[in-house]
Amino acid sequence: MTSASKPTPATAHVDPDPSKGWFRRLLPVIRARRATFIMVLVTGLSGLALQVSVPMVLRQAVDLAVDQRAGGLEGHVLLLVVMATASFGLRFAYRYLLFGTACRIETDLRSQIYDHLTRLSFSFYDRIAGGEVVSRANSDIRSIQLLLAFGPLAGLSAISFLMAFGFMLSIHVPLALVTVSTMPLVYVLGQRLRDQVFPLSWVTQGRMAEVAMVVDENINGTRVVKSFAAESDQIALLSMVADRLRWSATALIEARARFNPLIEALPRLGMALVLLYGGHLVIEGEIGVGSLLAFSAYVTMISVPFRMFGFVLLQAQRAAASALRIYEILDEKPAIVDRPGARPLSAPRGRVEFRNVTFRYPGVDNSESPAVLDGFDLVVEPGETVAIVGRTGCGKSTVARLLPRFYDVDSGAVLIDGTDVRDLALASLRSHVSQVPDEAFLFSDTLHDNIAFGRPEAPRHEVVAAARVARADGFIGNLEHGFDEVVGERGYTLSGGQRQRISIARTVLANPAILILDDATSAVDVRTEEGIHHGLEDLLTGRTTIVIAHRLSTISLADRVVLMEDGRIVADGTHAHLLATEPRYRAIVAQVEDREVGA
């Protein structure tokens, strides 16, 4: 929440063109690290050249020893030691730089996804589960990172194969051809493995997300689960999705088990053929012992690409499936964006107007589902406090969501000081319109940082003053670390009323020109609520305020009360006037009184 915890901006972004292949879309992110990749290439190729040259030096040393049957090998031994030392240093630098760069690209992707998620509209989060998003931002990105780490290693191994094959051809062409005689079959098996692995990788990644979603919901909703003694049902649900994951993961393992052993065994068959044919050539005197030894070393060397081939091929298919899942998020367009020419909201007077507003939540079939708001009209003058009252589902909270443009109206307009909110810059609009929701959300951070969320630079005395207005300073002072106390995830180490008071203090500190209280004191007791209201009196003075009211004490804060029914206002006046003239309002107030007496 503080400036130190802000995500590091991505160095480059994924290509936005969805018609390109997944790897081509990733290239801009890779090119941003081109300097490091050049160093990786130089150190990798240099180390590889030394590694491939070792069998040739060994060949010369052995042939010299066999022919002369004397000493004189000190120079070759010293050369081999120097080559081995240099090769170690180069290969260490190569791997260090390669894996470090792969991790940096992983960080770039994660930063880009997080940045994009913060720009997506509420409608996106209404239809996608949180666990699904977390899975794509973690395990799917890790799949790409593994490919970027091990893919170049496989590419370097392929280059070593070509270089080794060239040296083998320079020694003995027929024996070199015998060595690579099994390669075409390796290619065919690799193609068949790829065709089976890709769809299974896609299914497996999706089912991993299902498991993550179930776990995430049960951790965050553990109080609900335990309160209904539903642990066994949730365990059964997790078992079901885990079984689905097990099936696809097992099918993936079976595909690898069928092909990978063959892919890795074929080079060993090549080794047997080399020993058989090469031994015959040595006996016949066509090649020396040193040449056969060099061939044996090269066979081991060229077998490395084929040992890695199955793993890298599998990882490439998994990365391709993961990339497509990541691109589904990155290709999602925010529904709420700044219009061209949108201007900032500067020093607002605070006049709010809903003009003939009609609204349906995204995803609802407009032809069949009724509108949440239908012909909604309301004017709140600068500095006025208006309470919105109505039965559950009449659209009260929707009004609160349209003003800061969490959603856009289907028709009509929402205006501030006569300007349509769609013509205002989003950041500016939301900096002047703050909402205290009925369900308070706190971050797993200190109470100070939770209150100062909207103004991270706020000094401690202002944070304390805001907490005093919200009547939160009392219980905070009783905590061991006071304002530096770290609350648990979602603030569940505090009571519901305490969380609401922190949420109110957060909005008080933000000091918005327009304030929305959406049943903001529903979880506090009557005495605490009375104290909060006294603290809010000064805050509400001269400030445009919309109160979503479910308590008589909350309604008492308002200068005017409007009654909603079926998505529109059906009555407007003071509390006393509506009690005297509107039977529907009297019925709602009677229900509220019954609940409060019962409580």
Cα 443 to Cα 489: distance, rounded to the nearest angstrom: 6
- Percentage of the residues of the chain whose pLDDT score is greater than 70: 87
| CB within 8 Å of 72: residues ≥ 6 apart | 64
Q: Cβ distance 484 to 448 under 8 Å?
A: yes
Q: Is it the case that residue 6 has pLDDT exceeding 70?
A: no
Q: Cβ distance 362 to 409 under 8 Å?
A: no
Q: Taking the CB of residue 45, how many other CB atoms lie within 10 A of it?
A: 16
Q: What are the CA-CA distances from residue 239 to residues 210, 211, 220 (Å)?
A: 11, 9, 18
Q: 546, exposed or middle or buried, with CB in 10 Å at 0-12, 13-18, 19+? A: buried
Residue 340's SS3 state is coil
In tens, the pLDDT along 544-596 reads 989 887 777 778 778 899 999 888 999 999 888 998 899 998 888 887 665 55
Q: What's residue 521's pLDDT? A: 62
| CB within 8 Å of 248: residues ≥ 6 apart | 200, 203, 204, 207
- pTM of this prediction? 0.68
Nearest-10 Cα torsion for 153, 157, 158, 164 = 160
Rg of the chain on CA atoms, in Å: 35
Q: What's residue 522's pLDDT? A: 59
In tens, the pLDDT along 70-117 reads 556 777 788 888 888 898 899 889 888 988 888 888 888 888 888 888
Crossing angle of helices 289-330 and 141-171, in 10° steps, is 160
* CA 296 from centroid of its chain's CA atoms: 48
Cα 380 to Cα 538: distance, rounded to the nearest angstrom: 19
Pairing of the two strands 419-420 and 433-436: unpaired
Angle at 386 between CA 380 and CA 388, to 5 degrees: 115
Q: What's residue 1's pLDDT? A: 46
Count Cα atoms within 13 angstroms, Cβ side, for 591: 10
Which of 162, 167, 157, 173 lies closest to 60, judged by CA?
Answer: 167
Q: Which fold has domain 352-598?
A: Rossmann fold (3.40.50)
Count Cα atoms within 13 angstroms, Cβ side, for 69: 0
Token readout for 189 is 């098996």
Cα 8 to Cα 32: distance, rounded to the nearest angstrom: 15
In tens, the pLDDT along 189-230 reads 766 776 777 677 778 877 877 787 787 777 767 766 766 677
Q: Is it the case that residue 460 has pLDDT exceeding 90?
A: yes
Q: Is it the case that residue 3 has pLDDT exceeding 60?
A: no
Q: Which fold has domain 12-330?
A: ABC transporter transmembrane region fold (1.20.1560)
Q: Cβ distance 303 to 271 under 8 Å?
A: yes
DSSP for 209-261 reads HHHHHHHHHHHHTHHHHHHTT-HHHHHHHHHHHHHHHHHHHHHHHHHHHHHHH
Angle at 127 between CA 123 and CA 130, to 5 degrees: 105
| CB within 8 Å of 8: residues ≥ 6 apart | 107, 111
Q: Taking the CB of residue 79, how many other CB atoms lie within 10 A of it?
A: 15
Token readout for 369 is 């589902």
**Per-residue pLDDT band at 2 (split at 50, 70, 90):** very low
Amino acid making up residue 217 = E
Spell out the domain ranges in the chain. Answer: 12-330, 352-598
Cα 437 to Cα 220: distance, rounded to the nearest angstrom: 19
pLDDT-wise least confident of 333-337, 410-414, 459-463: 333-337
Query: Comparing 256 with 565, which gets the higher pLDDT?
Result: 565
**Per-residue pLDDT band at 176 (split at 50, 70, 90):** confident
DSSP character at residue 522: T
Which of 434, 518, 437, 508 lies closest to 473, judged by CA?
Answer: 508
Q: Is it the case that residue 599 has pLDDT exceeding 70?
A: no
Point out which residues pair with 354 in neighbouring strands: 378, 414
Point out which residues pair with 569 in neighbouring strands: 564
Phi and psi angles of residue 436, each rounded to the nearest 5 degrees, phi first? -105, 105
Amino acid making up residue 373 = L
Which of 317, 11, 320, 325 lies closest to 137, judged by CA?
Answer: 325
Q: Cβ distance 442 to 487 under 8 Å?
A: yes
- From first CA to last CA, the distance across the chain in angstroms is 37
Residue 53's SS3 state is helix
Which of 354, 371, 358 lies closest to 421, judged by CA?
Answer: 354
**Per-residue pLDDT band at 367 (split at 50, 70, 90):** very low
